Amino acid sequence: MMGEIVPLRHEDGSLTTELEEKATLLFQVPPEEIQQAIENLPNKKAAGSDTIPNELLKLAAQQLWPVLMPLFNTCLARGHYPTLWKTSLTASIQKANKEDYSNPSAYQPIAFLNTLSKLFEKIINNHLTFWSTTKEILHPGHVGENWEGT
């Protein structure tokens, strides 16, 4: 059934059926992974409504991972994505060389996502990419995204 985590096995071979236990067996986000994801954040990107620039996360990475690790792991264990992370700030930018800027199609919307949301999504993306690659989940002829986040 879609949306359910399949039964997972403990090291002793026994099955778990509890959601939090399944999430723990599926994966936990270790501190090194958070630190690496923070280090790989691009500089000079606009922040979303959380107003946290990537550069600040990079400067405070050593102090932040002990807070972010339990936060991210709790989100995974409970299947919860914070509501504030689902919001964005959107700006309308004029497209170049348009004759009539009174026409809405002459504008391009740009969404500024929350920095912590992007960091969490990048970590999840890395896990799913690794898992699908090592388990050979995708068809060999699959053509699609290059697994890079925004």
What per-residue confidence (pLDDT) applies to 76? 84
Read off φ and ψ for residue 15, nearest 5 degrees.
-90, 150
pTM: 0.73
CA distance 126 to 5: 19
CA 118 vs. chain centroid, Å, equals 5
What per-residue confidence (pLDDT) applies to 106? 94
What per-residue confidence (pLDDT) applies to 20? 62
The residue ranges of every structural domain in the chain are: 8-95+107-134
What per-residue confidence (pLDDT) applies to 21? 64
7 Cβ contact list (under 8 Å, min separation 6) = 15, 16, 17, 22
In degrees, rounded to 5, the angle at the alpha carbon of residue 60 between the alpha carbons of residues 59 and 65 is 135
What per-residue confidence (pLDDT) applies to 24? 59
Tokens of 71: 């936060």
What per-residue confidence (pLDDT) applies to 110? 93
* Amino acid present at 42: P
CA distance 2 to 25: 19
Closest Cα partner for 116 from 63, 43, 56, 59? 56
What per-residue confidence (pLDDT) applies to 134? 75
What per-residue confidence (pLDDT) applies to 2? 35
What per-residue confidence (pLDDT) applies to 126? 86
What per-residue confidence (pLDDT) applies to 25? 56
What per-residue confidence (pLDDT) applies to 122? 93
**Averages of pLDDT over each 10 residues, the chain, 150 residues:** 49 70 67 92 92 95 93 86 92 93 93 94 86 74 60
